[in-house]
Amino acid sequence: MTALVELDNVSKYYGNIRALEGVSLEVHAGQISCVLGDNGAGKSTLIKIIAGLHRHDSGTFLIEGEQTSLANPREALDRGIATVYQDLAVVPLMPVWRNFFLGSEPTKGVGPFKRLDVELMRETTRSELLRMGIDLRDVDQPIGTLSGGERQCVAIARAVYFGAKVLVLDEPTAALGVKQSGVVLKYVAAARDAGLGVVLITHNPHHAYLVGDRFVLLKRGSMSGSHTKDSVTLDELTRQMAGGSELEDLRHELERAPVPTHLGGHPVKDDGPAA
């Protein structure tokens, strides 16, 4: 089956700085591909390449089997790639329905009588959110009054409505508690079940393993692992994410050494020479 998006041995450099080197990723319809890594691992650079913000310097970037190099985010949207960033890019004081259609507002009337079709936007927002299982109290309320999890869910429903084939989510649960994270992951799974290919960027292996089908681990701009769900356990994924042998070395370094007696340690009992 042809991948919706495929990166093969992709690299990105900023002058002499290596931001990404030799990274491969496949995104298939109805599957969630998780990209895991700590801060500075290269996750943001990978997002920017897929979203059309930056062009890759080497390697192959394919969309539905066609080799490409996106010029800008609008071209990515036109090719069916929608990216939901961590800050969500919403206008907090505007109502939910206005944020849902922000930049793509439908109008009615002609000439000087042309105006926003507010009723269509309200009804469409309400029905699309319900279709994703999101039952908001009022779509007229400012989106800033919603919880972080609810705002993420509105952004996901918006991408689905506007025809995204690939949904890229930048740390959607990073600033959320356990309950709200669970809500967001439920709607991430709903997007997958709607036939989208999802790229979930996260530093939380537990969240990734709950919904993920494929896992790519990044470390300092390079791939440190690539797995399918049936080839790796949560414990192994967590161990690799945490650094594996490096974490073990750190544990040995941090172990308490015996405290000398003159610094408050317990004296060692001396029974004299052995018989």
Mention the CATH class of domain 5-96+162-259: alpha beta
Q: What is the per-residue pLDDT for 274?
A: 54
Q: What is the per-residue pLDDT for 251?
A: 63
Q: What is the per-residue pLDDT for 273?
A: 57
Domain spans of the chain, in order of start: 5-96+162-259
Q: What is the per-residue pLDDT for 178?
A: 86
CA distance 213 to 62: 20
Q: What is the per-residue pLDDT for 69?
A: 87
Q: What is the per-residue pLDDT for 258?
A: 62
Record the tokens describing residue 111, joined without a space.
Answer: 């000439």
Q: What is the per-residue pLDDT for 257?
A: 58
pLDDT tens digit at each of 275 positions of the chain: 789 999 999 999 988 888 999 999 999 999 999 999 888 888 989 999 999 999 999 999 999 999 988 889 889 999 999 998 877 778 889 999 999 998 888 988 888 888 999 999 999 999 988 887 788 878 999 998 988 888 888 888 888 898 899 999 998 888 788 888 888 899 899 899 989 999 999 989 999 999 999 999 999 889 988 999 999 999 999 888 876 555 566 566 677 656 566 656 555 555 555 54
CA distance 94 to 170: 23
Q: What is the per-residue pLDDT for 148?
A: 82
Strand partners, 214: 33, 228
The pTM of this model reads: 0.81
How open is the CA angle 68-86-98, to the nearest 5 degrees?
90
Neighbours of 43 (CB within 10 A): 22
Q: What is the per-residue pLDDT for 234?
A: 92
CA distance 275 to 262: 29
Q: What is the per-residue pLDDT for 240?
A: 86
- Match 């949904």 to its residue by tokens: 167
